[in-house]
Amino acid sequence: MTLDELRQQCSTEFQNIDRIVNELGAVYQPGKSDYTLAEEAAMATFIMNAYSGFENILKQTLLYDKLDVGDSPGWHEKVLRKAGEIGILPPELFQKLSKYLSFRNYFIYSYFFNIKWEEMQPLVEEMKNTAALIRSEVDEYLQTI
C-alpha cells in the first residue's frame, strides 16, 4: 500500500464516520432521557459503527508502518495500544477510544436490552468531539510519514 492509498482509505473511512455522526445527531436530543428501545438500538449501532471506523483507520495506519496487529483474539486492544505507543493517540484520546472499545465488546456479546442508556449516553454525547479528535491526530500523523 502506498501513502496515497492509505490517505484515501482514511478519507473514505472518515466520510463514513461523518455520515454515522450525522445520523446519530438525528436521533439523539440533548436533555432527552426517555428513548424508545429502537432509538437506543440505533444509537448503540451508530456508536459501534463509528468505533469500527476508528479502528479500521488505526489498523491500516499501523499495517502501513509494518507493525504487527494480526487477527489474534486481543487484536482490538493491540491496535489501540500500538497506536498510543507510536504517537497516533495521545493518552486522553486513547482512554476515550478504550471506552468505545469496551462498549463495542459489550454490544456484540450482550442482548441489546441489557445496555443501559446511562452507560451509553456519555459515548453518544462525546462522539462528534471524539471523531474530530481522531481525525486531527491521524491527519497530523500522516503528515509525518
> In CATH, what number is assigned to the domain containing residue 16?
1.20.120
86 Cβ partners below 8 Å, 6+ apart? 62, 65, 67
Average pLDDT, the chain: 93
Structural domain of 114: 3-144
Q: What pLDDT shows up at residue 56? A: 95
Are residues 35 and 117 in contact, defined by beta-carbon separation less than 8 angstroms? yes
Q: What is the mean pLDDT of residues 81-101?
A: 95
Q: Model confidence over 94-115: pLDDT tens digits? A: 999 999 999 999 998 888 888 8
The pTM of this model reads 0.92
At position 109, the amino acid (one-letter code) is: Y
Q: What is the Cα–Cα distance from 92 to 42, expressed in whole angstroms?
A: 27
Number of domains within the chain: 1
Q: Which residues of 35-49 are buried (b: 16+ CB within 10 A; e: fewer)?
A: beeeebbbbbebbbb
